[in-house]
Amino acid sequence: MDRDALQLSREEMRSLGYRIVDLLVDHFADGERHSTGRSPGREELEDQLREALPEDGTDPHAVLDQVEQDVLPNTMRVDHPRFFGFVPSPNNFIGVLADALASGFNVFSGTWISGAAAAQVELVVIDWLRELCGLPDTAAGLFTSGGSMANVTGLAAARYAVLDDDTDGAVAYCSDQTHTSVDRALRLLGFSPDQLRRLPSDDQFRLDPTALTDAIAADRAEGRRPFCVIANAGTTNTGAVDPLPALADVTDAEDLWLHVDGAYGAPAVVCERGRERLTGLDRADSLTMDPHKWLFQPFEIGGVLVRDERHLRRAFRMGAEYLEDAVGEDDEVNFSGYGIQLTRSFRALKLWMTLKVFGRKHVAEAVRRGFERAEQAERLFRERPGWAVVTPAQMGILTFRCVPEGATEAEVDALNGRLAPAISEEGTAFVTKTTLDDRPVLRFCPINPRTTADDVRETVQALTDLARDHYSPGAPS
């Protein structure tokens, strides 16, 4: 075979490809038999993986051996049924194969002329999401690398629509629970950190409309230019949903843009439980929702919808001589004109194939399970002495804390700080902690539809056992 053309023979491609398919099938079919993965230190990985740039080629099967032995086992399996940390990403096999097709055919999804059907598929899937969220048909959107980029895109539309891109004296508002990608987005868009007001959240970790109104009035009185409110539809910390209808009333009355960060939570509109929790989503001027979080897609696919397509298009319009052929007819959408990327992969394919293969019904059921597993964990912790629920299960997230009888606050904090790494090291499950009201709490996010009731029960039991091992009354903490 012509190695100078970077070619493999048909047989080589097949045997390597089949081996990779087998690896993936094992990963999906026997997921629960494997561990949740490892996160070794730098030194260990330097030893394993550091080498000089190879001058000569290696047998592809030997390279795959190394991927199997040294690379994949040394990553966390964020799609493992007992991975409950951060935001798990329980992808699905259809999405994985769709990604293989999208990169295999290397479909260019930036312009209609090079990827007409890809653009059409993206239009269709974006429209499905728009309908689920109840946004009007003036809305448009696109798939991005993730929620961070979706937030940048939505806020760029806000900057254009409300401020005509003049950031001077402008102010945006959000709660102190808002994801830091919003701070970064505004920074990238030319706002200084003091142009974002992170207002203290209420006792349920939500943005308070009264505090918001007061902050807007105070800024106006000082001659500043309020322009945007960023609301959460499912915070990363607790799953809290800000009071969207009341916040939309404020933004309507004050003539401000309402950007909703539903990167984590908004995909739950696919099911009845989610729709109930997300009332008011249809009032967003822009909305982030990430299929690589709770719509079971492999990385990377975030998404953003903008209520008025013209704001999105105008915020990103550009012309270049070498793209003149790519302009096309008016109804032929060039997605590169809706966001930051010109060269874009065919991300829409995986979500389109997933929704077609399983149907909304089964995807909705998969999301509903996440709600139920979190509620199951809440019930189990409430039944057990020595545990306290900090925020109830909402949008698939529970926060809780171990509070042994008689323990001081310092002992409780030290114990809870230790439990998350302890259960992960032990290997039963992967759980992370977070901080609420300046105190460490454990956080449990069981949105993987392959997580069973036993997985939840055994994890609660393992945490209880570990708490006993790690706490002895009166011991120095």
Ligand X SMILES: Cc1ncc(COP(=O)(O)O)c(C=O)c1O
Residues that bind ligand X (CB under 6 A): 87, 146-148, 179, 181, 236, 261, 263-264, 290, 302
Q: Provide the minimum distance between the beta carbon of 219 and ligand X in the complex, in angstroms, as a whole number.
A: 24
The helix or strand, by DSSP H or E, that contains position 12, with its residue range, turns out to be: helix 10-29
Candidates 267, 449, 262; CA nearest to 373 is 449
Closer residue to ligand X (CB): 302 or 449: 302
Rounded to 5 degrees, φ, ψ at 391 are -130, 135
Residues 36, 42, 45: CA angle, nearest 5 degrees: 70
Cβ atoms < 10 Å from Cβ of 317: 10
The two structure tokens encoding residue 299: 């990385």
Q: What is the CA radius of gyration of the chain?
A: 24
The two structure tokens encoding residue 255: 């003539």
Q: Provide the minimum distance between the beta carbon of 290 and ligand X in the complex, in angstroms, as a whole number.
A: 5
Q: Provide the minimum distance between the beta carbon of 67 and ligand X in the complex, in angstroms, as a whole number.
A: 24
Cβ atoms < 10 Å from Cβ of 472: 11
Residues 327, 331, 332: CA angle, nearest 5 degrees: 45
- 415 and 402 Cβ atoms separated by less than 8 Å: yes
Q: Provide the minimum distance between the beta carbon of 368 and ligand X in the complex, in angstroms, as a whole number.
A: 20
Cα distance between residue 209 and residue 191, in whole Å: 23
Q: Provide the minimum distance between the beta carbon of 263 and ligand X in the complex, in angstroms, as a whole number.
A: 3
Q: Provide the minimum distance between the beta carbon of 344 and ligand X in the complex, in angstroms, as a whole number.
A: 16
Q: Provide the minimum distance between the beta carbon of 347 and ligand X in the complex, in angstroms, as a whole number.
A: 12
The residues near 412 (Cβ < 8 Å, ≥ 6 apart) are: 401, 402, 403, 404
Closer residue to ligand X (CB): 302 or 440: 302
The helix or strand, by DSSP H or E, that contains position 227, with its residue range, turns out to be: strand 225-232
Does residue 365 have a cis peptide bond before it, meaning omega lies within 30 degrees of 0? no
